Amino acid sequence: MNVPEHLRYTEEHEWVEVLDDGQVRVGITDYAQDQLGDVVYVELPEPGTEFEKGAMVAEVESTKSVAEVYAPLTGTVTAVNSQLVDSPDLVNRDPYGEGWFVTMTPSDGFDPEQLLDAAAYTRLIE
């Protein structure tokens, strides 16, 4: 299972990438998409919406089940990956790239060190 070194992770199988401008990009991990199977629908939030850490930010439906995606941090959604509406299979094909879900501006006090690093996440899914 692919767990890129440069990302941070949650115990609920989201990944977080801290971008150069301080925003973060969020998606679900390779392990999560593999467990879900073929993704057939993704329900995304409205840009501008604020989320508390742990609140449901998106929904993913697969041929097997439905899963919730939780905000890995408190912040405001700045953009959503609208490609997922017509091509939900991007979540399966490229979970860390074209299959991203949202970008967020973290609220003050966000510290990526509070999230799991690749080694800790790898231990979680093993």
CB-nearer residue toward another protein: 2 or 63: 63
Smallest separation, CB 123 to another protein (Å): 22
The residues in 48-87 that bind another protein, with binding defined as CB under 8 A, are 59, 61, 63-64, 66
CB-nearer residue toward another protein: 37 or 97: 37
Q: Does 43 bind another protein (CB under 8 A)?
A: yes
Q: What is the maximum alpha-carbon separation in the chain? A: 39
Q: Which residues contact 56 (CB under 8 A, 6 or more apart)?
A: 68, 69, 70, 71
Distances (CA, A) of 105 to 10, 15, 69: 17, 15, 17
Instruction: Give the C-alpha separation, 50 to 45, whole Å.
Output: 10
Smallest separation, CB 41 to another protein (Å): 6
The residues in 85-104 that bind another protein, with binding defined as CB under 8 A, are 89, 92
Are the C-beta atoms of 7 and 118 separated by less than 8 Å?
Answer: yes
Q: Does 41 bind another protein (CB under 8 A)?
A: yes
- Binding residues (CB under 8 A) for another protein: these are 37-38, 40-41, 43, 59, 61, 63-64, 66, 89, 92
